[in-house]
Amino acid sequence: MNPYKGLKDLPHDMWALFFTSLINRSGTMVIPFLALYLTKKIGVTPTEAGTALLVYGAAAFIAAPLTGKLSDKLGSIKVMKFALYGSGLLFFVYSFIEDYNWILVATFVLAAVNESFRPANLSLITEIVAPSQRRMAFALNRLAINAGMSIGPVIGGFLTLVDYHYLFYANAFASIAAGIYFSSVKWSSLSSEKEEVNELKSKVRFAILNDKYFLFFLFAVIPANLVFFQHLGALPLYIVSDLGYTTAAFGLFGAINTVMIIFLEVPLNNWMNDTPYRKSLMIGALLAGIGFGGFAIATSVIPLIISIMVFTFGEMIFFPVTAAYTSEISPSDRRGEYMGYYQMTFSFAFSAGPWLGTVVYQHYGSVILWSGALVLGLITAALMFFVKSNPTIK
């Protein structure tokens, strides 16, 4: 059986989104190097640089549901064009700002505009792809993001050796180039409604805060998301400081995650396409907890690699399925709004996860940290047991 068989059945529009995200994410250079830019070029303290990153995360958190709702009002395509062209302009302007207070203001605005792409993108995928293909489509979308993110920071690292300002110019160029490509696409599958069930469901209007099924799902997702984002904070500290590996070695460990996602996530989701949502969500969360929990006893190379591989399998299952589940549970005319709230859980985990992990690591040690990660993964897995396998039935 061909593990990539499902890709050829995806509509042309999905491939247009794939290349848009790939172009855009290949230029991701500013955010990975923002702390270094602010401390080395602008001259702020590490705490002030951390505050700027916190502002970015807070803006993304606040903007997600608002831009998602805007996608429903104006259309996902218009919001995505605004995000690509707007962020391109803002990246360029940002490079000229030197006052710290204005940098914080610019960071907030940049995050709100740049991150508005995400919920609109997820909503558009739902609009153009049939329900039976959505897990594959969301996996393909993550492939574009991860492939691009494996390119951008590498190029950015070399650009910093010349001038940090080149990061902003390159990021701006990539955003605008993605916008130009995206604007040239002739959308063919946007007009057809693929779900009679959701079409009927969309006629019933209710506030998201009254949608107990969706709120429970969002609540259940958060513990696992906090676990996944430990790779940005506590994990590098643990591997380098506790275990004594070099930063280069940590980079190689991290490459295992990236390579697995690029080559395995799409075929894995194709293979699991008929697995019920509840089972997939439980497996993904369980593997996340076991993988990160394994670091409590993983000190040598082989156990570390095994732990990384385990949580990566969890990541490859969990993220596409949570996005697909959100698309299924949302009314057809409010998908942007639902995707916005779904994106909020990631923005929250992006901001709080690394901070929480480093605090636990510093005050209680790595064993408590990774044991806690295991518990959080188990909590999400247990909560997902109560999620409906068929989310279109309320």
Question: Domains plus CATH for the chain?
Answer: 8-186 (1.20.1250.20), 210-394 (1.20.1250.20)
Say what the pLDDT of residue 207 is: 65
Please identify which residue in the block is written with the tokens 């574009």.
144
Say what the pLDDT of residue 47 is: 83
Say how many C-beta atoms besides its own lie within 10 A of residue 124's C-beta.
27
Say what the pLDDT of residue 4 is: 64
Q: In angstroms, rounded to a whole number, what is the distance separating the alpha carbons of residues 304 and 293? A: 11
Structure tokens at 228: 């996944």
Q: Contact, 341 vs 329, CB < 8 A?
A: no
Tell me which amino acid residue 349 is.
Answer: A
Please identify which residue in the block is written with the tokens 């610019």.
106
With DSSP H G I counted as helix, E B as strand and the rest as coil, what are the percentages for the chain, rounded to 5? 80, 0, 20
Q: What percent of the chain has pLDDT over 90?
A: 66
Angle between helices 76-94 and 46-74 (to 10 degrees): 150
Say how many C-beta atoms besides its own lie within 10 A of residue 207's C-beta.
6
Average pLDDT over residues 87-111: 97
Cβ neighbors of 125 (< 8 A, separation 6 or more) are 14, 17, 134, 137, 138, 141, 323, 327
Structure tokens at 164: 């940090």
With CA atoms as reference, report the closest residue to 228 among 273, 290, 168: 290
The overall longest dimension of the chain from CA atoms, in Å, is 59
Average pLDDT over residues 108-127: 95
Average pLDDT over residues 149-167: 90
The mean pLDDT value of the chain amounts to 90
